[in-house]
Structure 1
Amino acid sequence: MKRTLAILGIMSLSACAPPVADLYLQVTTQPQLIAQTEKDAVSRAEPKSMKEGFFPRYHEISAQSPIIQRDGYLSNYEVFKANFEAGQNIMMFVASQCDCLGFDKRVLVPDISFLDEKGEPENATVEGVSLGLNFFVTLRTNIERDGNYYLLVGANNASVGKEAPNKNATAPLYSGQSASLSTSTTPNPFGEVSVTYFIDD
């Protein structure tokens, strides 16, 4: 009996979750200016500290986050900041946490840009992508100049509401690169992400 009640409780919570398309509508109807460039996006944000090492802190990306125009969709985003020195080899890790309450499992698919202190794109290579219930992206870069650097992490809303259970999906991630992955979750415009980095000596 207790098991039956628990299952019914989970199902009821899943049923109460708003449709993903409705959540994206909250993004598109926000009464705020939409950044047209990444430089503009950085200037509109309040950068959060990029954490070095383990034990990441998660930050929410929501309808109240700033918004940037991407190719064919709007992306709500947050910006993370760190100071690096010339010659450092940096590994960055972006983790997006699954909203896994009930049977309707959702995850924010991250849209990532690595930028210099002027908001201009910097080179970085995607070294790994994995998706179970959570989404992880690993990037590596060599720093050419001392200064502040930014990682713009937004919601890739290109496929919002399109479920891909047990099928291969192609996720555009960073600088035109993409990754084929198997997913049983639904891309979500909202979620919690963490950004950490390591200096590879």
Structure 2
Amino acid sequence: MITELAIAIRSTLVFWVLTAMLYPLLILIIGFVFPYQANGSLITDAQGQIIGSALIGQSFNSDRYFWSRPSTTNYSEGEGEDAPTTGISGASNLAPSNPDLLKRIQADATKLELAGIQPIADLLYTSGSSLDPHISLESATAQAEKIAKVRGISPKNLDRLIKQNTEGRFLGIFGEPGVNVLKLNLALDALKSPN
């Protein structure tokens, strides 16, 4: 019994050192090595004001911006019509046959069609977390004509911006390439030349 007690005490001490000392120290070091990621991948404007996170989707409702995926998250109100907003993750848990879900999808499809945008899946359906910051390359390209007309920007410049803000597959094999909507809209605002 004394031997088993000694083994239990040693095991507890070893795991305590590993989990209460070494692991937190490792995480702290990683945070110092990668400060951008450790602080939430925050994006700031030229004045240093935090605009949002590259990891969290935001709602854009103006025709002057690329639209994000729909979200079940109740976003906080931004300032002005064009202001991006942030929110807290949450799912609706509505079944595919739920009338409220079908009504929302139909309303979104109608909104896209009225704007001259082909209703593509990721512009109609929410992501699993409801905070996905990306849309597909196809969804961004489908919105380019609308943006070009509203802003008076050449389609070539929009294609360049879309390509610059497209992120590839994770580790080159997982997922599909996606366009970060917040980064794309910020790059759109930063365009100086209309042509």
Q: Shorter-normalised TM-score: what interval?
A: under 0.3
Larger CA Rg, structure 1 vs 2: 2
Q: TM-score with structure 1 length normalisation?
A: 0.26
Higher helix share: 2
Q: Point out which structure has higher relative CO (alpha carbons under 8 A, 6+ apart).
A: 1
